[in-house]
């Protein structure tokens, strides 16, 4: 029998456990190498409140890359030993959301996007780093735990019907939205009024959390009368507003809406009707400028037939309609009028980076420049994200090529826009996704972007890259065998240079390990890292909550 004293020697006096210490110790022993035991948790003057740590029955082998294995505990917290120096000005909490639990009992999910949301928090203050994680308690997650089976429709999963009649009944609940998941595993945002909300593409999957403890506090209920089922997973959020796109599957198009801080009511700014295809194109994200909202219309379009299927198709909830063409629409924020609508080359993107207004020498707006992580119109990127593909890398270079795709949308009445690479894709290994910028440059002309790139051969983005859109170059960070999550830029208070700040990422390392990483935003050199006591799964998007 392992004593609590023995466990505290290994994990540090600042990590407190309730429950079966032997079970907890047994799990830790499988994932922590001797060299890591002295790098996890240190004593601090103020002892934190005890934290319970339920341990799941399914323990992945140590040889598995942590990025694609389910999180082993529902929650944990402790202080991490820092190698290097955390800037004293960095005060606040970085919260990352993402799918971290990919199994229910003995049943394993198939796709990266199916996993139940795992929140990770990194709290920086006085040069120290405290970390915690916990599962988001959505209704989908709680029902799965209670019934030991899938109960709601996820990205590629549907509950198994016992018979034909139960399948028909489940379809009826799909039309009402009742069977759609609320598993908010995609993004996390801080509203202008300070509330922190986790999101996914279903509107019901909007869940408020406590940013300090990561506890689930309840549903984020919209008080308006809009009755749609889906929205963009990435709204545009500032201190003064919340902008979102609501795809209309009945009358193909998009409703553009705004929500004021302190309210839960979305108000319609305007509407864009689709110019091609049987349904709206997928709008995972969209860009804005100071005066305009850009609505992308991708030929990768929502598909009602695929939504109804119990088994996934190669394109899941979507279909590729190249004959329907691709378009970019520009709406005035104030009037809701469409000021430009142009055809552009076919494209596939999850994430837009930024956009700004192009002006002539006299300051008149002549068009819009909009940048995104573009996958060369290759729809196979969706199927590449199946977990079996991510877990079975054999050294072949199978990652789909990607670039910083730059759209040029003219305001001269031309019906055609441009899409071209903003810089040579070889600068970042022809890989590009999961991007952030200095938020002070949102909607404005900017120079730098931070993203995940590639060092070939690989099957998933495996570098962090700083893109210089003026010099058309990239600086790349790489740790062999590791999978970095989205690089998130935090500006130094009072900074005057665009890249004066730090870049935060969480690294799922080889052999079941992982660490938090800080890079200098300007030099892109490592300034600090702190190892977790075990590897955390790959995560998606995050937000910054500054300390008041």
d(CA 274, CA 281): 8
Half-sphere exposure of 295 (CA within 13 A, CB side): 31
Q: Is 234 annotated as a binding residue?
A: yes
Q: Is 291 annotated as a binding residue?
A: no
- Residue 208 backbone dihedrals phi, psi, to 5 degrees: -85, 145
Angle between helices 21-31 and 4-11 (to 10 degrees): 30
**Between vectors from CA 344 to CA 339 and to CA 345, what angle results, nearest 5°?**
170
Give the C-alpha distances (Å, rounded to integers) separating 524 from 82, 257, 495, 503, 519: 18, 37, 17, 8, 5
Give the C-alpha distances (Å, rounded to integers) separating 399 from 342, 451, 453, 459: 30, 16, 11, 4
539: CB partners within 8 A, 6+ apart: 96, 97, 98, 100, 118, 120, 485, 486, 506
Question: Contact 255/245 with Cβ under 8 angstroms?
Answer: yes
User: For 497, which DSSP code?
Assistant: S
Give the C-alpha distances (Å, rounded to integers) separating 267 from 123, 166, 258: 35, 38, 5
Q: Is the dihedral of CA 479, 72, 135, 243 positive or negative?
A: positive
Give the C-alpha distances (Å, rounded to integers) separating 22 from 18, 61, 462, 539: 11, 19, 36, 29
Tokens found for residue 185 = 């595993």
d(CA 275, CA 37): 59
Q: Is 133 annotated as a binding residue?
A: no
Minimal CA–CA distance to 81: which of 123, 120, 35, 129? Answer: 129
Classify the phi-psi angles of 228: left when phi > 0, otherwise alpha if psi is within -120 to 50, otherwise beta: beta
- Residue 434 backbone dihedrals phi, psi, to 5 degrees: 55, 75
Q: Which residue has the tokens 């839960």?
A: 264
Paired residues of 47 in beta bridges? none
d(CA 481, CA 458): 10
Question: Contact 244/262 with Cβ under 8 angstroms?
Answer: no
Half-sphere exposure of 26 (CA within 13 A, CB side): 13
Q: Is 284 annotated as a binding residue?
A: yes
Binding residues: 234, 284, 351, 541
Binding residues for Fe cation: 234, 284, 351, 541
């Amino acid at each position: 029998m392992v004593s609590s004293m023995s466990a505290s020697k290994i994990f540090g006096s600042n990590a407190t456990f309730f429950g079966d210490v032997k079970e907890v110790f047994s799990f830790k022993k499988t994932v922590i190498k001797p060299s890591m035991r002295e790098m996890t948790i240190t004593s601090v003057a103020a002892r934190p409140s005890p934290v319970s740590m339920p341990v799941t029955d399914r323990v992945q082998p140590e040889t598995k890359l942590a990025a694609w294995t389910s999180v082993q505990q529902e929650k944990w917290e402790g202080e991490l030993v820092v190698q290097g120096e955390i800037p004293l000005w960095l005060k606040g909490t970085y919260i990352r959301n993402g799918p971290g639990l990919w199994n229910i009992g003995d049943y394993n999910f198939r796709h990266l996007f199916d996993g139940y949301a795992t929140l990770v928090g990194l709290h920086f203050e006085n040069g120290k780093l405290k970390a915690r994680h916990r599962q988001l308690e959505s209704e989908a997650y709680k029902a799965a735990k209670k019934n030991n089976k899938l109960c709601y429709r996820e990205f590629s999963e549907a509950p198994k019907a016992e018979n034909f009649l139960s399948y028909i009944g489940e379809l009826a609940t799909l039309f009402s939205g009742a069977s759609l998941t609320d598993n908010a595993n995609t993004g996390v945002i801080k509203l202008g009024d300070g509330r922190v909300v986790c999101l996914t593409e279903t509107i019901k999957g909007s869940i408020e959390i406590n940013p300090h403890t990561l506890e689930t506090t309840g549903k984020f209920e919209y008080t308006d009368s809009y009755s749609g089922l889906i929205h963009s997973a990435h709204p545009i959020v500032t201190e003064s507003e919340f902008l979102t796109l609501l795809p209309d599957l009945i009358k193909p198009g998009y409703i553009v809406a705004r929500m004021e801080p302190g309210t839960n009511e979305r108000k319609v700014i305007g509407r864009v009707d689709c110019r091609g295809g049987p349904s709206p194109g997928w709008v995972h994200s969209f860009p804005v400028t100071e005066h305009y909202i850009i609505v992308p219309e991708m030929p990768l379009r929502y598909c009602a037939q695929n939504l109804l299927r119990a088994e996934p198709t190669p394109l899941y909830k979507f279909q590729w309609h190249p004959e329907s063409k691709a378009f970019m629409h520009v709406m005035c924020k104030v009037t809701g009028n469409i000021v430009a609508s142009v055809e552009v080359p076919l494209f596939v993107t999850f994430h837009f980076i930024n956009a700004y207004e192009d002006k002539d020498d006299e300051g008149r707006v002549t068009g819009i420049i909009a940048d995104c992580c573009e996958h060369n119109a290759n729809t196979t990127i969706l199927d590449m994200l199946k977990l079996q593909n991510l877990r079975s890398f054999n050294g072949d270079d199978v990652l789909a090529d990607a670039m910083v795709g730059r759209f040029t949308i003219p305001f001269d009445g031309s019906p055609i826009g441009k899409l071209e690479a903003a810089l040579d894709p070889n600068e970042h290994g022809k890989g590009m996704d999961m991007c952030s910028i200095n938020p002070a440059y949102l909607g404005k002309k900017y120079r730098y972007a931070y993203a995940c790139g590639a060092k070939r051969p690989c099957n998933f983005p495996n570098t962090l890259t700083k893109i210089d859109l003026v010099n058309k170059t990239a600086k790349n960070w790489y740790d062999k065998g590791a999978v970095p999550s989205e690089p998130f830029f935090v500006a130094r208070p009072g900074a005057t240079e665009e890249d004066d700040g730090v870049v935060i990422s969480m690294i799922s390392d080889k052999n079941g390990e992982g660490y938090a990483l800080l890079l200098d935003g300007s030099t892109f050199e490592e300034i600090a890292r702190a190892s977790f006591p075990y590897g955390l799964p790959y995560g998606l998007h995050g937000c910054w909550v500054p300390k008041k």
